[in-house]
Amino acid sequence: MPPVTLPTDRLRLAIQKSGRLSTDSLDLLKSCGIKIKAPKEKLLLHADNFPVDLLFVRDDDIPQLVMDGVCDLGIVGQNVLEESSLERRNAGSRHAYSVERVLDFGGCRLAIAIPEERPFSSLKDLEGLRIATSYPQLTGRFLAEQNIKADVVTLSGSVEIAPRLGLADAICDLVSSGSTLEANKLRAVETIFKSKAALIRSDRSLTAEKSHALDIMLSRIDGVQKAADAKYIMLHAPKAALAEIRKLLPGSENPTILPLAGDDTKVALHAVCQEAVFWETMESLKKAGASSILVLPIEKMML
Ligand code: ATP
Ligand code: ZN
């Protein structure tokens, strides 16, 4: 990686250059009002309107960049993070970091899978097997915790074809829908690690300016993440049914109640619901007497 010179007071954030986390990472920054011009071609990009520089790298390099203090921050899957941290700890390298926020994307699980036809009744059936994985640390830790003796075969990719090639009897790999497993005639028998993307931070201390910028970024991330599920609900309610209707609103406090022009028997109610508003909720509201029910998305939130 070529050396880069940067002003010292700008945060440096490593994100995945191209892959499953790239678009969501950039979208999150955009939602936080951080403007980034056409990324991808460059290794390093300066945000125009926020003191942050983005470093575009392979996801596997992100934990190391943060743990070595080359970057102040990184967005990476907890799976890669935990694997790297264990590996570095075993190798005696710096492995400290803090998770600033677990993010709403990049969800997946690391699971042990075996050929469909292989019988399986308990984890003990894994005893003595060769398990292929790109996550030898997490797999090894799980087997040790479960007191199972098995051989971990480390492969950097295409783990799912290892049993067919006779390289392994089972695998431990990332699963989301399960279609890759199905295509390779494998079935998941145990989830060993659940993962989401996380914003991590180096344990080196930040300058006051960087620390201030990070506080702003975190409060904006919270605003975006809180808003993701929240909805703004507006409806008309007969005054007599108001108490019952308020009880039906999911996760909302202190709604605004407004008079309705030309109708003394009803009021307009506006409220922020912190939880999803389902069709069932709307149907119950209608049944309780509410009418003209509108549910609107919320883009950002600052409480
Ligand atoms: P790179 O070229 O950056 O090394 P990669 O091929 O290792 O990329 P991707 O496949 O882009 O990585 O996955 C990046 C991360 O996305 C994973 O480590 C995991 O945290 C997350 N992820 C979310 N869903 C899935 C999935 N279905 N399969 C694999 N990874 C997933
Ligand atoms: Zn990778």
Average of per-residue pLDDT across 11-37:
95
**What is the chain's mean pLDDT, rounded?**
93
Query: What's the 19 CA to ligand 2 centre distance in angstroms?
Result: 8
Q: What is the pLDDT of residues 174-215, one digit of tens each?
A: 997 778 899 999 999 999 999 999 999 999 999 999 999 999
Whether residue 268 is predicted with pLDDT greater than 60 in this model: the reply is: yes
Query: What's the 122 CA to ligand 1 centre distance in angstroms?
Result: 29
Proximal ligand: closest to the CA of 56: 1
Q: Which atom of ligand 1 is nearest to the CA of 106?
A: 23
Percent of the chain with pLDDT over 70: 96
Of 59, 135, 193, 195, the one to substitute when testing ligand 1's pocket (max ligand atoms within 8 A of C-beta) is 59
Q: Is the CB of 83 under 6 A from ligand 1?
A: no
Fold observed for domain 11-106+197-227: D-Maltodextrin-Binding Protein; domain 2 (3.40.190)
Asked if residue 249 lies in contact with residue 225, where contact means CB atoms within 8 angstroms, the answer is: no
Of 21, 84, 99, the one to substitute when testing ligand 1's pocket (max ligand atoms within 8 A of C-beta) is 21
Q: Is the CB of 60 under 6 A from ligand 1?
A: yes
Q: Which atom of ligand 1 is nearest to the CA of 80?
A: 18
How much is the pLDDT for 162?
96
Comparing 146 with 230, the larger pLDDT belongs to 146
Q: What residue spans in the chain does CATH classification 3.40.190.10 cover?
A: 11-106+197-227, 108-195
How much is the pLDDT for 302?
85
Q: What is the pLDDT of residues 115-130, one digit of tens each?
A: 999 999 999 999 999 9
Whether residue 92 is predicted with pLDDT greater than 50 in this model: the reply is: yes
Q: Which atom of ligand 1 is nearest to the CA of 17?
A: 3
Residue linked to tokens 């009880």? 247
Query: What's the 110 CA to ligand 2 centre distance in angstroms?
Result: 14
Q: What is the pTM of this model?
A: 0.88
Q: Is the CB of 51 under 6 A from ligand 1?
A: no
Closest C-alpha among 39, 91, 72 to residue 203 = 72
Query: What's the 58 CA to ligand 2 centre distance in angstroms?
Result: 6
Whether residue 264 is predicted with pLDDT greater than 60 in this model: the reply is: yes
How much is the pLDDT for 6?
45
How much is the pLDDT for 8?
56
CA 229 centroid distance within chain: 14
Whether residue 3 is predicted with pLDDT greater than 70 in this model: the reply is: no
What is the spatial distance between Cα 232 and Cα 147, in angstroms, rounded to a whole number?
A: 51
Tokens of residue 247, six digits: 């009880």
Q: What is 230-297's CATH number, 3.10.450.50, 3.30.70.120, 3.40.640.10, 3.10.20.600?
A: 3.30.70.120
Q: Which atom of ligand 1 is nearest to the CA of 59?
A: 3
Percent of the chain with pLDDT over 90: 83
Fold observed for domain 108-195: D-Maltodextrin-Binding Protein; domain 2 (3.40.190)
How much is the pLDDT for 239?
96
Whether residue 74 is predicted with pLDDT greater than 80 in this model: the reply is: yes
Q: What is the pLDDT of residues 213-261, one digit of tens each?
A: 999 999 999 999 989 888 999 999 999 999 999 999 987 778 999 999 9
Which DSSP string corresponds to the chain?
-------TTSEEEEEESSSTTHHHHHHHHHHTT----S-SS-SEEE-SSSSEEEEEE-GGGHHHHHHTTSSSEEEEEHHHHHHHHHHHHHTT----EEEEEE-SS--EEEEEEEETTS--SSGGGGTT-EEEES-HHHHHHHHHHTT---EEEE-SS-GGGTTTTTS-SEEEEEESSSHHHHHTTEEEEEEEEEE-EEEEEESSPPPHHHHHHHHHHHHHHHHHHHHHH-EEEEEEEEGGGHHHHHHHSTT--S-EEEEETTEEEEEEEEEEESS---HHHHHHHHHTT-EEEEEEE------
Q: Is the CB of 109 under 6 A from ligand 1?
A: no
Comparing 5 with 133, the larger pLDDT belongs to 133
The confidence band for 24, taking pLDDT boundaries of 50, 70 and 90, is very high
Q: Is the CB of 162 under 6 A from ligand 1?
A: no
Which range, 5-14, 147-156, 274-283, has the best average confidence (pLDDT)? 147-156
